[in-house]
Amino acid sequence: MTDTSKSSAEGIDVDELDIAPENGWNALYLDGEWLPAGDRDLIDVENPSTRATLTTVPSGTADDVDEAYAIAERAQPEWAQRPPQERAAIVSEARRLLGEYADDLETLFAVECGGVQLKAGFETQLAQGTMEVGAGLAMRDGGRRKDSITPGKENLLVREPAGVVGVITPWNFPLYLSSRVVAPAIALGNSVALKPDEHTPLTGGLVLAKVFEEAGLPGGVLNVVPGYGPEIGDHFSAHPVPSVMSFTGSSEVGRRVGRRAVGSYTEPALELGGNNAHIVLPDADLERAIAAGAFGSFTHQGQECISINRHLVHESLYDEYVAGLADRAAQLPIGDPLEEGALVGPVINERQRDKIVGFVEESIARGATVEAGGGHDGLFVEPTVLSGVTNDMPIARNEHFGPIAPVIPFETDEEAVRIANDTQYGLSGSVHSPDVARARDVADAMETGMVHINDQPLNDEPHVAFGGVGASGMGRYNDEWILDTLTTVKWISIQREPRQYPY
């Protein structure tokens, strides 16, 4: 394993980056102002490679949440009245600014959430893409006319902003997963209160505040309250002000957020966990399937809801697949994300590491064999390949969210589908076969929101519907599909001619 005792990130002062607010990050962003922490508790933002504190941010309170929603509620009507091209222009300018700050963002991704340079590039591009698509929504589908069954009547279906949108986002792809809601919400005339994860308050929230402030967004339209989920999360998600509550995170917490939102008559949009299967059929191109499998399991240390959680491989290819995947895993360079060439960085914290390691150890005790990796150093968990895995082992039953590749054999296509569907989750998946019709049959039978043929599940395109079924969430993100969440449709009818009533 790479020696991580000396980190290239040591000595970095994130408060001095060009993207930082003038007075540093230790502030809330409310009503267009950077409010100092005052007497609030502080959140230490730590570098997962070194465990060194990078900076501190205020730990928002319930009163701060109330204030953020009150400000957003006051600002939204005037913002909605702005011409759509003006709203779109501000989102487009925010997109441009992300490109200007790409180097700073690469540093922040590395030192705040352990993202290597490859991942940083992906995330910045995705965030820019979702802003581009979001800006376009401002000019789309303002309403339509429908014929009426009543003589002399005209039906108009008018789209209006939902109002105030609450957003809670996770630490793994913080900038993108915040942007994919914030950007279209603002473009469509909504205002936003955003609570980023406490591990990534900078890239998950305060960076967006800085960028939109520079883009010219009026005060109050976007408000950011960092804070600990257990302390303010329930109050944030159950608040009576927002019309929409968007949450991305674990299924366990998402169920709670959804229940509390609905209790306040707030529409939930939930993108939750996954247990995604990578199915390799007997006629698959083996090298292609292995390459896809390695990318889908080990990118960003497996810390993505759409990562491969289980490799299901036909028994005729099983041994070769395991050997090939293990060889690729063993060659992946591990190290500080700012080190040139590092492809595997640290996992986010000790709790996450211990969960991953625990699942591996429990599965080994039940008969799994380590073919590559299996160790860890601090928060650096080695890319690990396990053979002899069955679907009831902890590493297969649970969303492990780590750089672990459990490989499970199957005999028939029908058995592969049965194993893939034997989970509460239904987010994404992949199927490998040169016979696209055969692969499509398997894809159609998989109970997931997304399936990728001759690829791997780690796919997201800002103009394509994204979401799952079952414990993986409800609703869809991106383009026209999030339009349905972030707007409401009002039916206005006009009786143009006198109507004859029966009494």
Tokens of 380: 């650096």
How far the first Cα of the chain sits from its last, in Å, is 85
Catalytic residue among 67, 106, 213, 271: 271
- Number of Cβ within a 10 Å radius of residue 52: 15
Catalytic residue among 305, 339, 371, 399: 305
Tally of CA atoms within 13 A in the half-sphere of 361 that contains its CB: 8
d(CA 19, CA 351): 30
Does 113 participate in catalysis according to the annotation? Answer: no
CA 438 to chain centre: 31
Q: Which residues contact 268 (CB under 8 A, 6 or more apart)?
A: 244, 245, 246, 247, 257, 258, 261, 262, 474, 475
Q: Is 421 helix (H, G, I), strand (E, B) or coil?
A: helix
C-beta separation of 274 from 459 below 8 A: no
Give which of 493, 497, 490, 502 is closest to 148, Cα–Cα.
493
Q: What is the DSSP track for 383-420?
A: PEEEES--TTSHHHHS---SSEEEEEEESSHHHHHHHH
> Which residue is associated with the tokens 């927002």?
242
Give which of 267, 275, 268 is closest to 253, Cα–Cα.
268
Break the chain down into helix, strand, coil percent, rounded to 5. 40, 20, 40
Burial class, 481, CB count within 10 angstroms (exposed 0-12 / middle 13-18 / buried 19+): middle
Q: For 169, list phi and psi in degrees, rounded to 5.
A: -125, 160
Q: Which helix (H) or strand (E) holds 178?
A: helix 174-187
- Number of Cβ within a 10 Å radius of residue 229: 17
d(CA 442, CA 451): 10
Q: Which of the 8 DSSP states describes residue 383?
A: P
Q: For 240, list phi and psi in degrees, rounded to 5.
A: -75, -15
Does 305 participate in catalysis according to the annotation? Answer: yes
Q: Which of the 8 DSSP states describes residue 270?
A: E
C-beta separation of 21 from 353 below 8 A: no
d(CA 396, CA 275): 8
d(CA 80, CA 186): 9
Q: Which residues are catalytic?
A: 271, 305
